[in-house]
C-alpha cells in the first residue's frame, strides 16, 4: 500500500474495513484525553472503558496543575491508568517538577507520563523543552517507567521557524537515546490529524532516521465540523486540516457531525500492512463529547 493510496482512501475498501478485523485490531487498545476540569465525569467515563485504559490528563491552563492531580486520583480510583501531561514551559524548576511527580505517583499511582514543550511563548522558569525535564532524572526517581514524547507529523512551526526543519528529528533522536539509557519505555503520541498520509510519511521518515519509537496517533473524536475547525485553528494543526476546512466552506455543513471512520480505517490498514512503521494505536481527543465518542466506538468495534 503506497502513501498516496493511503492518503486518498478508497471508499469501497473503507466500507469493507469498517468494523472489520483490521479496525478491531487497531482499536483493541486505545487511549483518550480529559482535562482537569472534567474530573467530575470520571465515574461516567470509567463505566464505558475497560479497566486499565490509559486516560491522559491534559494541562493547558497552568493554574489547573493542582486539579490535574485530583483528576489523576479519580481515574486511578475508578480502575483507569492516569497519564498526566508534563509541559516543560509550565514547570518552574526541578523542585516544582519533583513536587508534581511526588503527588502524581504517591497519590494517584502514576507510572506513565507525556512530556512536551508546552506551547507557551515564554517558559515559566528553567525548562523550555521535554529533554530538559528528562535530564533531571526525576521521572526515574519517582517510579515513572513509561514516557511519551509529543510527535508532529505535520510539523511544529513554533520550533522549526526558530531552529530549522531538522530540529524536531534531532530532538526525537536525543529523547530516544535518553530513554534507552535510563531504561524507560518510550513512545510517540502525535498531534491530532484528519488524514492518514502525513502519519505514514512521517513514520517512514522516522524509521529511516533510526527512530524506532512506536507511534500512537492522535484522532479527533466525532464532533460537528464547526467544533473541529475551532480546535484545528486553536492547536495549529497542519495541512490535513484542509479536509475539515473544505467542509466548513459549506455553511450548511457546519453543524454536521464528522466521524473519523476513514482515518481509522486507513491507519488500521497501514498498521496491518506496514508493520515496520509501528503505527500502534489510537489516541482519541473527544472534541465532540464523550457520549459521541463512546457511541461511535461501540459501532465501529462490533
Say if residues 287 and 231 touch (Cβ distance below 8 Å). yes
Q: How far apart are CA 40 and CA 34, in angstroms?
A: 11
How distant, in Å, are the alpha carbons of 44, 49, 125, 254, 279 from that of 189?
25, 20, 25, 29, 10
CATH classification for the domain delimited by 3-221+261-300, as one of 3.40.366.30, 1.20.1050.10, 3.20.20.220, 1.20.20.10: 3.20.20.220
Q: Is the dihedral of CA 285, 291, 292, 296 positive or negative?
A: positive
pLDDT value for 15: 35
Q: What percent of the chain has pLDDT over 90?
A: 71
Over residues 97-121, the mean pLDDT reads 94
- Cα separations (Å) of 20 from 17, 25, 28, 102, 108? 5, 9, 12, 43, 36
Count CA within 13 A, CB hemisphere, residue 2.
3
pLDDT of residue 4: 34
* Residue 55 and residue 82 in contact, taking contact as beta carbons nearer than 8 Å: yes
What is the per-residue pLDDT across 189-218, written as a single tens digit (0 to 9) for each? 999 998 999 999 999 999 999 999 999 999
pLDDT of residue 231: 74
**Pairing status of strand 30-34 against strand 223-224:** unpaired
Q: Checking phi first, is residue 91 left (phi over 0); if not, alpha (psi -120 to 50) or beta?
A: beta
Helices (H), ranges, the chain: 3-7, 11-17, 21-26, 42-46, 65-77, 94-108, 130-134, 138-141, 157-163, 167-182, 197-208, 225-235, 242-248, 261-273, 290-300
Strand, coil or helix: 220: strand
For residues 96-108, give the mean pLDDT.
98
Question: Which of the four pLDDT bands, split at 50, 70 and 90, describes residue 14?
Answer: very low
* Residue position matching grid coordinates 486520583: 73
Q: Is the pLDDT of residue 94 over 70?
A: yes
How do the domains of the chain map onto residue ranges?
A: 3-221+261-300
Cα 126 vs. chain centroid, distance in angstroms? 25
Q: Report the pLDDT averaged over residues 68-77.
A: 98
Give the pairing of strands 185-192 and 81-87: unpaired
pLDDT tens, position by position, 138-180: 999 999 999 999 999 986 555 544 444 577 899 999 999 999 9
Amino acid at each position: 500500500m503506497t502513501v498516496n493510496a493511503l492518503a486518498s482512501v478508497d471508499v469501497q475498501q473503507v466500507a469493507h474495513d469498517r468494523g472489520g478485523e483490521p479496525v478491531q485490531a487497531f482499536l483493541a487498545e486505545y487511549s483518550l484525553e480529559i482535562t482537569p476540569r472534567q474530573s467530575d465525569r470520571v465515574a461516567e467515563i470509567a463505566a464505558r472503558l475497560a479497566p486499565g485504559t490509559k486516560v491522559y490528563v491534559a494541562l493547558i491552563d497552568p493554574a489547573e496543575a493542582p486539579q490535574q492531580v485530583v483528576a489523576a486520583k479519580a481515574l486511578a480510583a475508578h480502575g483507569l491508568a492516569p497519564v498526566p501531561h508534563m509541559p516543560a514551559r509550565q514547570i518552574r524548576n526541578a523542585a516544582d517538577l519533583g513536587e508534581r511527580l511526588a503527588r502524581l505517583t504517591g497519590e494517584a499511582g502514576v507510572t506513565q507520563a507525556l512530556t512536551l514543550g508546552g506551547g507557551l511563548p515564554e517558559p515559566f522558569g528553567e525548562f523550555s523543552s521535554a529533554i530538559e525535564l528528562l535530564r533531571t532524572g526525576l521521572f526515574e526517581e519517582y517510579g515513572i517507567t513509561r514516557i511519551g514524547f509529543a510527535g508532529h507529523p505535520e510539523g511544529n512551526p513554533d520550533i522549526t521557524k526558530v531552529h530549522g526543519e531538522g530540529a524536531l528529528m534531532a530532538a526525537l533522536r536525543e529523547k530516544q537515546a535518553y530513554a534507552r539509557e535510563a531504561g524507560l519505555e518510550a513512545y510517540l503520541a502525535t498531534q491530532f490529524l484528519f488524514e492518514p498520509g502525513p502519519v505514514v510519511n512521517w513514520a517512514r521518515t522516522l524509521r529511516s532516521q533510526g527512530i524506532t519509537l512506536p507511534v500512537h496517533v492522535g484522532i479527533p473524536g466525532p464532533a460537528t465540523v464547526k467544533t473541529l475547525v475551532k480546535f484545528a485553528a486553536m492547536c495549529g494543526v497542519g495541512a490535513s486540516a484542509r479536509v475539515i476546512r473544505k467542509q466548513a466552506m459549506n455553511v450548511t455543513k457546519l453543524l454536521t457531525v464528522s466521524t473519523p471512520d476513514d482515518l481509522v480505517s486507513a491507519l488500521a490498514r497501514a498498521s496491518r500492512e506496514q508493520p515496520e512503521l509501528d503505527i500502534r494505536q489510537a489516541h482519541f481527543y473527544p472534541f465532540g463529547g464523550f457520549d459521541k465518542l463512546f457511541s461511535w466506538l461501540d459501532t465501529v468495534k462490533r
